């Protein structure tokens, strides 16, 4: 199948809320679709407001699959999670074209709030 | 009228929640506008995290009409619905240019949450 | 100032909910920014699922102003409102470049739900 | 690192709600990512429905950092905040390429509502 999308995407507004007040845990997902014949190796760079950028987190999306990457479950090689309750931003880089959508579910109040947007694609 | 839009669109974050706790059923809609003089035949390819892609679902949008395609009501030729509670992603292909917007309404908590985004268009 | 944006925009998912259960009325807004030196005359074409398109609604945005066009308050020359509880879609056409964002506030459940997206721009 | 993004962005639908009914204050954030080696000086132009545009607010985003600019906390040189409960729109201009996402959290009802979108980028 045609490899749709781009290899580089940016998401300026990411934030992992540590508070959940209903059965659905507050979380973010970086959702990837890979229509190419090649498995996607996905490297993240996290940008912060008050500290240096980090490049120690990565993920993947197999060929002809989707992966809704749960950022609250992601761990680096040392088993560390992404910091909670801290504004950050994400650069997504892949070896093969992908399409990226960012969604957030917040249950810090008992009811659910949702937001989503297609990420910003960089032209090759 | 000018046929606005593109023939190919992608939506990385789709998910049909099986739980509804108010009169509005949790659902997704793939909303299409067709400003061309030709009826749009719309083919879906669904991508999953843990199984092969499926191409057995389709829909339509007549010329000079909109169609808010309710994914919870969509059935394939065998009368099967889209799997619930499973992350998936959608490739939308049309024979004529269309514009595509994806929206989700979630009532798994008693109150409503909404999210929407224009889908990702593929340049011809 | 530079006239930023495009003259033609599309919004596939529009819907005016007739039900409101808190002080904020359920509504949609087509939000326009006009950075040009010319007042924008804005023509709408509404597309439906089950009837012909309508071109009897219009609005405006003065030069160097914004206009958050409340679709629930919009009236045509005969004083008629947009139909409620009916899926529709909107083509927005302006005589001068503008940028368009679509937002919906739903209070059909007592709490508020919000969604927004930049509309789809047509390259000139 | 490559300086991703554009220098000019627009957000047609901005609105600072003065009412908050839970611990999270109703607010907007203009979220910026700066992958360039140069600190970003960010100038805002605010457009209104019923008064002249204002250029007396600005912000920043250091090189290789993000800044989730809280519009409810922003002050001009005279210590004035952005007007509340008034529809406005924002032109964002930077000296170096950035990517911009706009998000709103509303707690004017006791529960939270969220919405987000990547802003509209102007091609250089």
Query: Could you report the per-residue pLDDT of B47-80, keeping only the tens digit for each?
Result: 999 999 999 999 999 999 999 999 999 999 999 9
B111, pLDDT greater than 90 = no
Query: Each residue of D72-121: pLDDT tens digit?
Result: 999 999 999 999 999 999 999 999 999 999 999 988 887 789 999 999 99
**A111 touches C at CB < 8 Å:** yes
Of all residues in chain D, the percent with pLDDT exceeding 70 is 100
What confidence score (pLDDT) does residue A75 get?
Answer: 98
**B86 touches A at CB < 8 Å:** no
Which chain D residues are Cβ-neighbours of A48 within 8 angstroms?
65-66
Cβ A119 vs Cβ A100: under 8 Å: yes
- Return mean pLDDT, chain C: 95
What are the distances in angstroms from CA D15 to CA B76, C21, C104, D10, D100?
43, 22, 13, 14, 17
**D48 touches C at CB < 8 Å:** yes
Query: Each residue of C38-87: pLDDT tens digit?
Result: 999 999 999 999 999 999 999 999 999 999 999 999 999 999 999 999 99
Q: Out of D13, D47, D113, whose CB is closest to C29? A: D13
- Residue A44 — very low, low, confident or very high, per pLDDT cuts 50/70/90? very high
> A115 vs chain D: nearest CA distance in angstroms?
5
What are the distances in angstroms from CA A88 to CA A28, A59, C107, D68?
12, 18, 31, 8
Q: Out of C22, C100, C111, whose CB is closest to D12? A: C100
What phi and psi values does residue B82 have, to the nearest 5 degrees? -70, 140
Strand partners, D40: D61
pTM of the full predicted structure?
0.97
Query: By C-alpha distance, which of D36, D34, D38, D113 is closest to D69?
Result: D34
> C27 vs chain B: nearest CA distance in angstroms?
13
What confidence score (pLDDT) does residue C24 get?
Answer: 84
pLDDT, mean of residues A64-69? 98
For residues A91 and D61, what is the distance between their CA atoms, to the nearest angstrom?
Answer: 16
For residues C37 and A84, what is the distance between their CA atoms, to the nearest angstrom?
Answer: 46
SS (H, E, C) chain A: CCCCCEEEEEEEEECCCCCCCCCCCCEEEEEEEECCCCCEEEEEEEEECCCCCEEEEEEEECCCEEEEEECCCCCCCCCCCCCCCCCEEEEEEEEEEEEEEEEEEECCCCCCEEEEEECEECCC
Cβ contacts of residue D80 below 8 Å, gap of 6+? D56
What confidence score (pLDDT) does residue D20 get?
Answer: 87
Which residue does chain C place closest to A118, by CA atoms?
C117
Which chain B residues are Cβ-neighbours of C48 within 8 angstroms?
65-66
What confidence score (pLDDT) does residue D49 get?
Answer: 98
For residues C106 and B105, what is the distance between their CA atoms, to the nearest angstrom?
Answer: 11
**D109 touches C at CB < 8 Å:** yes
Number of other residues whose CB lies within 10 A of the CB of residue C8: 20
What confidence score (pLDDT) does residue D2 get?
Answer: 96
C124, pLDDT greater than 90 = no
What phi and psi values does residue D116 have, to the nearest 5 degrees? -155, 155
Of all residues in chain B, the percent with pLDDT exceeding 70 is 100
- Residue B124 — very low, low, confident or very high, per pLDDT cuts 50/70/90? confident
Which chain A residues are Cβ-neighbours of D103 within 8 angstroms?
13, 115
pLDDT, mean of residues B26-40? 97
């Amino acid at each position: 199948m045609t490899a749709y999308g781009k290899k580089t995407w940016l998401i300026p507004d990411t934030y992992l809320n540590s508070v959940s007040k209903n059965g659905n845990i507050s979380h973010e997902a970086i959702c990837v679709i890979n229509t190419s014949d090649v498995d996607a190796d996905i490297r993240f760079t996290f940008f912060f407001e008050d500290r240096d950028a980090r490049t120690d987190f990565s993920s993947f999306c197999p060929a002809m699959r989707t992966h809704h990457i749960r950022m609250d479950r992601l761990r680096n090689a040392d088993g560390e999670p992404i910091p909670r309750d801290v504004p950050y931003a994400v650069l997504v880089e892949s070896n093969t074209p992908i399409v990226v959508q960012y969604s957030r579910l917040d249950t810090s109040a008992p009811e659910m709030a949702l937001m989503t947007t297609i990420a910003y694609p960089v032209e090759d």
